[in-house]
Amino acid sequence: MHNKSNKFSITKKSVWSLILQAKYFKANFLDDKSQVSIEKSLNGIKYRFEYDIQEKKVINNNFKIDDYANNLFKLYLPIIFNNKKTYLLGHLAQTLDGFIATQSGESKYISSKENLFHIHALRAISDVIIVGYNTVRLDNPFLTTRLVKGKSPMRIILDKNNKLGKKYNVFTNQDENAYKIINDNLRSSDHNIFQLPMTDNQFDEKDIVSLVTKLNKKVIFIEGGGKTISSFYEKNLLNKLHLCISPIILGKGISSFIIPKKDSLNELIEHKVSYHKMGCDILCDIDLC
Query: Do residues 31 and 132 both lie within one domain?
Result: no
What's the sign of the alpha-carbon dihedral 174, 175, 181, 182?
Answer: positive
Q: Tell whether 60 and 176 lie within a shared domain.
A: no
Rounded-to-integer distance, Cα 251 and Cα 98, Å: 9
Predicted pLDDT at 266? 75
In terms of domains, do 160 and 203 share one?
Answer: yes
pTM of the model: 0.93
Answer yes or no: is pLDDT of 1 > 60.
Answer: no
Tell me how far apart the alpha carbons of residues 54 and 136 are, in angstroms, rounded to a whole number. 37
Asked whether residue 3 is assigned to any structural domain, the reply reads no
Residue 175 lies in a domain: yes
Compute the distance between CA of residue 122 and CA of residue 285 in angstroms, rounded to an integer: 13
CATH number at residue 226: 3.40.430.10
Contacts of residue 46, Cβ cutoff 8 Å, sequence gap at least 6: 39, 40, 62
Is 7 a member of any domain? no
Last residue of a domain, one of 66, 96, 111: 66
Find the helix or strand (DSSP H, E) in which 58 lies: strand 57-61
Do 36 and 112 have their domain in common? no
197 and 282 share one domain = yes
Q: Are residue 175 and residue 224 in the same domain, yes or no?
A: yes
Q: Tell me, yes or no, whether 124 and 20 share the same domain.
A: no
Local structure of residue 260 (DSSP, 8 states):
P
- The whole domain housing 34 covers 12-66
CA angle 53, 17, 115 (to 5 degrees): 85
Give residue 131's Cα distance to chain centre: 11
- When mean pLDDT is compared across 23-32, 33-42, 115-124, 198-207, the lowest value belongs to 23-32
Q: What is the mean pLDDT of residues 200-225?
A: 96
Residue 148 belongs to a domain: yes
How far is residue 236 CA from its own chain's centroid?
A: 17
Same domain, 54 and 96: no
Task: Report the domain count for the chain.
Answer: 2
Q: Which helix (H) or strand (E) holds 229?
A: helix 226-234
41 with 105, same domain: the answer is no
CA separation for the pair 193, 185 (Å, rounded): 13
In a domain, 81, yes or no: no
Same domain, 43 and 143: no
Parallel, antiparallel, or unpaired for β 254-255 and 99-101? Answer: antiparallel
**Interatomic CA distance for residues 95 and 100, integer angstroms:** 7
Three-state DSSP class for 257?
Answer: coil
Whether residues 54 and 136 fall in one domain: no
Residue 208 has pLDDT above 60, yes or no: yes
Q: Are residues 26 and 164 in the same domain?
A: no
What are 241-252's pLDDT values in tens digits?
999 999 999 999
